[in-house]
Structure 1
């Protein structure tokens, strides 16, 4: 079965059965005079609603970002994480010094720094170490490519990136290989 074009006549079932690039979703939304901004997940929900003849999903607007506080030049475990801090090279150096040279900002740290609520860098180190002990965090649905790459190298540890990309191209051209799961809020 060949992958269909994303057109207004596409059935919701066919839409769900195939993988769509964000650019394809944006182009469809623009052509249908629908809002074409937002994450891939939001765009997919919009397209699915349009194809189903349903009202567009509404989402609560995000609260404004907190005013960014200035990060001190010297970071210690007792340093309280300020609102709006960006994960930068200074923080990376702190985590390398207090964990391992291979440390990197994972989802647990990104979540903590979005809303630190007075936590210290020592607490952030504990969150990071705990997240490592729990293993890799699940990749969000809209990042199916990332999940494919992770899974592929887990199953084929000696594979090359070119082989993983070739497998991805085959997978996304197969119906129901990457099923979209829209949810309404």
Structure 2
């Protein structure tokens, strides 16, 4: 048996030593409850909560959560000749653009999303052509089944 198995897990309390705390596994729900009871932020991942609790146990200070950075997306008007960006998001801007050229029945299906993600640098005209081909292929498959 390892040392962790022999030792019983200590109760998560404000007077717990930070080094001892870090040696044991606590559920996220337990960390959230501890944070709530000790006026610590309950936001973030389990790793962030663990870091925040350990910091509090070590220093007695309340560490504020890091703010998530908003990724700036310039308000670029899409055209047929616009290049598909890397890490494309399937936003309302994109949906409106594709509906303009493909009709109100347009939706981001799985195959089209995969095509867009793997074809950054191609044009939106090529994307429209690819979408039409994907639909054609899907219809052809249905006919032959």
User: Please, what TM-score do these two structures have when normalized by structure 2?
Assistant: 0.48
Between 1 and 2, higher relative CO (CA 8 Å, sep ≥ 6) is seen in: 1
Computing the radius of gyration over CA atoms, which structure comes out larger, 1 or 2?
A: 2
User: Please, what TM-score do these two structures have when normalized by structure 1?
Assistant: 0.39
